[in-house]
Structure formats: structure tokens, C-alpha cells
Structure 1
Amino acid sequence: MPEFLSDPSILIPFLLIGFAAQLVDGALGMAYGQISSTLLINMGVPPAAASAGVHTAETFTTAVSGISHVAHRNVDWRLFARIVIPGMIGGILGAYVLTQIHADTARPIVLSYLTLLGLYLFYRGVMHRHTEKRPRVVEPLGLVGGFLDAGGGGGWGAIVTSNLLVQGGNPRKTIGTVNTAEFFLTVTISATFILAMGWEAFTVATVGLLIGGVLAAPFGAMIAKRVNPDLLLTFVGAIVTLTSGYALYRALA
């Protein structure tokens, strides 16, 4: 019998992490993996186990989050159609490359780029300088975002959402669309992992993250719908800067 069935209280720390990470991810379109993985590792969970738990739980939380964004009409279906297939292809390629070479050499470069991008988005949000227009560069973003998410252990939302916003995408629609597409990306990346590990993937951390994330998903979509676009942009810039900057510090330390 799993330990959490005899003592459900051990789920609480992981449930809270999953709830907080998904609330941020659902509202801002990014950072579920970064937040939950960092907190799990700081709690003493081995990096491999943390990654396994996050990716398995994310398969379910992104499904609920996507449904919530659809219900709140946060999805631009034209943008979704352009981004989801390239994202899945990039995810497959990233998973394959990860088994062939080590991806850490490119990680500091990507993190430096994201940190600067986050500062720029924060500036535009604070100064109210976001002019909305339909993004032109979409498919390559999906491909690169999916590749980095699989090969580097995260980054779909940070890469895709932030770059679409820089191009002038509507914050609410961009966040909702990227979140909804992430479900298909996560399923693609996680399929082999779940098949390989079976029920062993469902650790205490995984179950807690899953429950907390599913509970938080509807609230994230609600926040994205109701918050002012400039404020959303400011928060996106702040979260990209903080998570990428911290990850860059750890990568170079």
C-alpha cells in the first residue's frame, strides 16, 4: 500500500507546491516546471525524481488548465493550430537529442536570453508600451520551445509565451493558447517516460503535485481572463526574469 494512503498528511507539502506552481502557470502561461522542480529539490527530493514527478503530474494539470482556458475563451484557435504541431515535433526531437548528447552546454545561453527578455517584458508592462498585433513568427517558436522543454527539462511557456508577447500578442489569449497547447506537448514528451516507469512514476511527490495542480488550474484561467493586460505583461516579465535569472546563477555557480 502506498505510504500516502495510510498517512495523507505527507501529501500536504507537495500539494501546496503543486497548487502554487499551477496557479502561476495557469495565470501567466509559464513556470510550473521551474517553480515545482526548484522547491522539490530544495526539500531534498533527488533531481531525477523531481523531474519525473513534475512531468507526470503536468500531464494531468495541463489537461485541466487547458479545459479551463477554453471555458473562459482565452484560446486563439488560429494561433493554437499554428503552434501545437511544431511544439510536439520539437518535443520529440528534444527527447531524442537528450538521449544522444548533453544539453547543459546551451543552457546558460538560453537562460541569459530569457532573463533579458523578461526584463524587456517587465519594462513594457510597467511603462504601458504593449501594442497588440498578431504575431508573425509562430511555428519556429513552437519547434524551439518544444525542443528546449524536452531537452532542457522545461521552458515551453517561458520561450513561447514571452516571445509571442514581444511580437504584440494579446496577453490573455497568448497565455491561454500556450497553456492549452502545452497539454499535447506534455503528453508527447511524457509518454515514453510513463511507459518506461509505469506506476513507479506515481510517487508521493507526484500525487501531491497532481492534486494541488488540478485544484489550482481553474483559478489560473480565471485570473488570466480578468487581470489587466499590462499587469499580466508585468507579472510575466517578472516571473521570467526571476526564474531564468536564478537558474542561470545555478548553472554558472
Structure 2
Amino acid sequence: MGGDFLLFAVVGFLAQLVDGALGMAYGVVSATVLLSVGVSPATASASVHAAEVFTTAASATSHLANRNIDWKLFWLLAPAGIVGGVAGAYLLTGVEGDMARPFVTFYLSLMGVFILYRAFKGVPPHLEPNAKLIAPLGMAGGFVDAAGGGGWGSVVSSTLVGSGGQPRYVIGTVNTVEFFLTVSVSAAFLFALASGHWSEANDLASHAWSVGGLIAGGVLAAPLAGIVVRRVPTRPMMFAVGLLIMALAGFQTWEALG
């Protein structure tokens, strides 16, 4: 048990450093690692979101203190993201783990490809994101984040920056919204547990040490994100994250086929 805690503390620490620098990847990396050691998709997503309640609170506080939040963008994204996230959690808890795993693995593989694509493409000149697309984007990002165990930042931050949003305010705002999304998704998982909708919920208790490690590592790394942003080149980090996610997803596929 202690070994699980230390292993996932390292995973949480490294994933949060990447997330703080890129505005994405904590949930995707953590969920992919959990799935690769045999955790069911719903339990992996619930575990990651339980950890993210703490890590996103630390990240949001930092962005608030540094005035990195675009409040107009915040109020467009937050309600839509919460609706999409609750819907994704409800769907995932109603599907058996063995049935959901291939779809979640495929989704995470797509996230790896998407991150690699963003690394190759680079960042375009600054433009103002189209306000009409922000709410649908938030709903889609919240849904895939809950259903896949991660992806809010990968979908929303990448799209907004890719369409010309200023990275400082996009990442700060998206990370702040993620706290409220995470709390809502975690509440949806708890409701599914209490109502009996989630048949595999008993699996959560056996992974408590892993969740604790993700929380501890993520919270320790959150204050260091600013240093990572300044000192580590973005594109090499994106390449590394994309390759890691695809390798882990490929390992899960190989196990399933074997």
C-alpha cells in the first residue's frame, strides 16, 4: 500500500507540473496510468477527480492571485463545462468497466495524438476566441473529461489557444473553471454511488492509497508550475506527454488483445 502511495505521488507530482505548464494533461496522464494498472474506467475517473479537487483548488488560487483569469471567458465556460461533466459522469457510471475500457482507451489515444499535433503545429498569433463557440466547447470538454477520466485542458485549452486565445489568460481561466467542474463531477460520482446507479463503486476503496498519492503529489507540484512555465520549453514537453499517453494506451490495448 505504501508503495502504491509513493508511486502515484510521483505520477501526480509530474502530471501536475506538466498541467501547470501546458494547461492540460493532469487528468489524462493520471487516468491513463490508473487504467494501465487495471483500474476500471469509472473508478479511474472518480479517483482522478477526487484528487483534482485539491490540485485544481491550489492551481486556481495561484491563478487568481496572479490575475490570470478572464472573467468573461470564465462565466461562458463554467456553466457549460459543469453540465457536460455531470452528464459524462452519469454515463460512465452506468456502463460496466469491461465495456467502457476499449472506448476510454481509444479516447485517451486520440488525446495523445491531439497533443502531438498541437506540438507540431505550434501556437498561432493572438486572436480573440469566437464567443459563440465557447459554451459548446465547454460542454464537450466537460463531458469527455468525466467520461474519459481527463481531457478538460487538452480539449478546451488547446482549442482556445489554437484559435488565437492569449495563453496566459486561457490557461489561467480554464484551470480555474476546472476546480468547479471537478467538484461537480465528484458530486455526480457520489450521487451515483448513493443512488445505486454505479454498480462497481466498491472498487474505489481498494484504490484509496493511489488516490492519496495523486493528491499529495499534485498539491506539492502546484506551486512550482510557474517555474516550469518559465524554464521548460513548451513544445518538447508536449511531445513527451503525447508519446507517454500513446505508449500507455497502446500497452492497455496490447493487454486487452492478449
Which TM-score band (shorter chain)? Answer: 0.7 to 0.9
CA change 1:241–1:38 in 2 (3 A) is closer
Report the counterpart of residue 212 of structure 1 in structure 2.
Answer: 217
RMSD: 3.3
Q: Does structure 1 retain, via aligned residues, the 8 Å contact 2:45–2:148?
A: no
Using the alignment, how far apart are the partners of 1:112 and 1:56 within structure 2?
23
2:60 paired with 1:66: yes
Picking from 135, 138, 143, the partner of 1:142 is 138
Using the alignment, how far apart are the partners of 2:108 and 2:8 within structure 1?
26
* Correspondence 1:170-185 to 2 at 5 A: 170-185=166-181
Q: Which runs of 4+ in 1 moved over 4 A?
A: 99-116, 197-202, 250-253
CA change 1:41–1:110 in 2 (3 A) is closer
Q: Does structure 2 retain, via aligned residues, the 8 Å contact 1:94–1:151?
A: yes
Q: Does structure 1 retain, via aligned residues, the 8 Å contact 2:45–2:146?
A: no
| Aligned-pair CA distance for 1:93 | 1.7
1:238 alignment partner AA: F
2:16 paired with 1:22: yes
Q: Does structure 2 retain, via aligned residues, the 8 Å contact 1:61–1:213?
A: yes
Q: Does structure 2 retain, via aligned residues, the 8 Å contact 1:56–1:194?
A: no
CA change 1:145–1:247 in 2 (3 A) is farther
Q: Does structure 2 retain, via aligned residues, the 8 Å contact 1:65–1:180?
A: yes
**Could you tell me the percent identity over the aligned residues?**
43
| Aligned-pair CA distance for 1:14 | 2.4
| Aligned-pair CA distance for 1:119 | 3.8
The two structures have a TM-score, normalised by structure 2, of: 0.77
The two structures have a TM-score, normalised by structure 1, of: 0.78
2:39 paired with 1:46: yes
Q: Does structure 2 retain, via aligned residues, the 8 Å contact 1:83–1:139?
A: yes
* Correspondence 1:98-117 to 2 at 5 A: 98-100=92-94, 114-115=111-112, 117=114
Picking from 109, 114, 118, the partner of 2:115 is 118
1:124 alignment partner AA: K
| Aligned-pair CA distance for 1:45 | 5.6
Picking from 152, 164, 179, the partner of 2:160 is 164
Picking from 11, 16, 41, the partner of 2:5 is 11
Q: Does structure 2 retain, via aligned residues, the 8 Å contact 1:118–1:236?
A: no
Point out the more displaced range, 31-40 or 112-121.
112-121
| Aligned-pair CA distance for 1:159 | 0.8
The SS at the match of 1:203 is: helix
| Aligned-pair CA distance for 1:112 | 6.7
